[in-house]
Structures are given as C-alpha cells and as structure tokens.
C-alpha cells in the first residue's frame, strides 16, 4: 500500500512562508496524481492544490498566486510552498495520492491514500 508522511508544519507569522513536504512510498509514485487538502477547526476538509503525473498543477482560488505545488519523483516527495500566509490559512494540511489521476481532482473521494496531516498555524 501507499504510505504518506507530511512534515514541515508549524507556527508562522502572517505574511511569512512555510514549505510542507509529503514523503510517499511506492514504486509507481511518479505516475500518481498528488494533492494537498486542509481542514480548519469546525470546517470541512477543502482542496488546496494538486499535481498530475505529467506535472500539470491546479489550485484553489483562495491560494492561487501564493502557494506552489511541486514534486520530485526521484525522492518520492511532493511539496507545498506557501507564501504570503494569512491567518485563514491555519489548518491541518493533508497530503493525498490518486493513482488514477482522476478528473475530479478537488474531490476527497478521488484520492485513495492519505497522510496523517501536519498543523499549520498562522498568527496575526
């Protein structure tokens, strides 16, 4: 099975930057679509960003222009670079894998594997 482990979360001041990492197992990692989701207290989990096997990227409107998703297939790792952070970005961030590269990349049901999450807190 695919195992995902997020890291890089922490406390940062508004306007600052943070880089999240997601280390994945699996021989076929390079063929997976990978996504980042987040969940704030009392809120539903929401789509943040995704990257397909071919490198095409997609972003939620709320983070476009501030966040960048990327992958390093040699390291079986996907990254989320977060710049110009806002207090409303505070959430637990989850990494997810979709071996099928589903069309509906914003839907949590499109992803077969999930990490345990990493906390990001943005102070004002």
* CA separation for the pair 48, 36 (Å, rounded): 5
DSSP 3-state assignment of 94? strand
Please report the pLDDT score of residue 62 as a whole number.
98
Q: Which tokens hold the place of 41?
A: 């207290």
- Beta-bridged to residue 79, according to DSSP, are 21, 70
Please report the pLDDT score of residue 85 as a whole number.
98
Spatial CB neighbours of 18, under 8 Å, sequence gap ≥ 6? 8, 9, 10, 12, 82, 85, 120
Is the distance from CB of 92 to CB of 119 less than 8 angstroms?
A: yes
pLDDT over 90 at 26, yes or no: no
* CA separation for the pair 28, 17 (Å, rounded): 31
CB atoms within 10 A of CB 66: 15
Please report the pLDDT score of residue 28 as a whole number.
85
pLDDT confidence tier of residue 41, bands split at 50, 70 and 90 = very high
pLDDT confidence tier of residue 27, bands split at 50, 70 and 90 = confident
| Average of per-residue pLDDT across 25-30 | 86
């Amino acid at each position: 099975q695919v195992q995902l482990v997020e890291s890089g979360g922490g406390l940062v001041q508004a306007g600052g930057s943070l880089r999240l990492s997601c280390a994945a197992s699996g021989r076929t990692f390079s063929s997976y679509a990978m996504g980042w989701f987040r969940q704030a207290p009392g809120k539903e989990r929401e789509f943040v960003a995704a990257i397909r096997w071919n490198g095409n990227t997609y972003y939620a409107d709320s983070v476009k222009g501030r966040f960048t998703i990327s992958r390093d297939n040699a390291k079986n790792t996907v990254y989320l670079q977060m710049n110009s952070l806002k207090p409303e970005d505070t959430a637990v961030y989850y990494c997810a894998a979709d071996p099928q590269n589903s069309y509906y990349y914003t839907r949590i049901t499109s992803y077969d594997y999930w990490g345990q999450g990493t906390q990001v807190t943005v102070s004002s």
